[in-house]
Amino acid sequence: MTRVIREIREVREYVEMLKRNRFSLGFVPTMGALHDGHCSLMRQSFRENDRTAVSIYVNPLQFLPGEDFEKYPRQFECDLARCEEEKVDIVFAPTVAAMQPLGRSTVVKVEGVSHEYEGRVRPGHFDGVATVVSSLFNVVQPTRAYFGQKDYQQTVVLRRMVRDLHVPVDLVICPIVRDPDGLAMSSRNVYLSADDRAEALRLARAIVAGERAVQSGETSGDRLRAILRDAMSSPRADVTIDYADVVHPDTLVPIQSIESRAVLIAVLRVGRVRLLDNAIVAAPGAPSGGA
């Protein structure tokens, strides 16, 4: 049975017990609104660790003014049922007051890789993510932590934070989980109407078109960017491309010509909803590999 913990003190007692028994702990940080993508992270943690903890915390620090913090889907009972199905040991669901009892003076800022793409469209977003994830790591002290590749830039930012701060945790990046129509799963997909969803599929198709072009030998960054943009373009005025790029997997610097591995990253705005997708690609003959 999954135990729900709301207090940091209680998590610490649990972690002490695990340490005494030399049990490993897998950790899946989430903001709730759990879907099959989150469940795939829980399953991987379950396979690789003695115990699994999931946090459910809608982190105010990573929302910009005017974004959907208040409206972000909150469905705790339903999320808890999914965690129980996945045999999660602990759900840590703190209040904002528990996480930030004194407000927040300390910010974890990961320079460089936070600046472009999501960082440019949502300034300060990654400071909020890095700050809360480092707080959660300090509380939960996991052996391994699981993140989805869908938020590719987030994985790069967090990897860099863990390396720079010598955080004793292994980050495990898990593949994107897609609906049968190809759309990458996201808690915000619930905002899409049926018509919006049809538009949103342009993004998944663009990523597939880019992957196929690389498999067929295309290595030019500019030609790949054009392929992504063509496939994402819509006659609908409220469907717009935030970015479509080909970047280095670790630095996120745009690539002129793919020599080994690269990442296709793209964001399509459909009405009020921003949809993210990406794929790691390898030039023919270069070693492939996940995130």
Q: Which of 89, 151, 199, 277 binds ligand PAF (CB under 6 A)?
A: 151
Which residue type sits at 249? P
Residue number, 30 or 40, with CB nearest to ligand PAF: 30
**Binding status of residue 33 toward ligand PAF by CB under 6 A:** no
# of chain residues touching ligand PAF (CB under 6 A): 10
User: Is 38 labeled as catalytic in the residue annotation?
Assistant: yes
Q: Which residue has the tokens 């030039």?
A: 283
Q: In whole angstroms, what is the distance from residue 10 CA to residue 187 CA?
A: 28
Selected binder of ligand PAF within 59, 135, 141, 155 (CB under 6 A): 59
Q: Are 184 and 152 in contact (CB under 8 A)?
A: no
273's enclosing H/E stretch is strand 273-282
Cα dist. 171→5, 135, 148, 151 in Å? 23, 15, 11, 14
Mark the segment that binds ligand PAF (CB under 6 A) among 127-135, 200-208, 241-249, 270-278.
127-135
Binding of ligand PAF by 28 (CB under 6 A):
no
Q: Does 34 bind ligand PAF (CB under 6 A)?
A: no
Q: How far is the CB of 41 from ligand PAF (least distance, A)?
A: 10
Q: Which residues contact 111 (CB under 8 A, 6 or more apart)?
A: none
Shortest Cβ 186–ligand PAF spacing (Å): 10
Residues 6+ apart with CB under 8 A from 226: none
Chosen residue from 113, 133, 145, 266 binding ligand PAF by CB under 6 A: 133
Tell me if 108 contacts ligand PAF by CB under 6 A. Answer: no
Torsion angle, alpha carbons of 107, 38, 145, 71, to 10 = 10
The smaller minimum CB distance to ligand PAF, of residues 28 and 213, is found at 28
Q: Which is nearer to ligand PAF, 2 or 30 (CB)?
A: 30
| Residue in the block written with tokens 């993140």 | 147
29 binds ligand PAF (CB under 6 A): yes
CA distances from 41 to 18, 118, 141, 149, 283 (A): 21, 23, 17, 11, 28
Q: Which of 35, 38, 166, 248 is catalytic?
A: 38
Least distance (Å) from ligand PAF to the CB of residue 142?
Answer: 13
Mind telling me the catalytic residues?
38
Residues that bind ligand PAF (CB under 6 A): 29-31, 59, 62, 129, 132-133, 151, 154
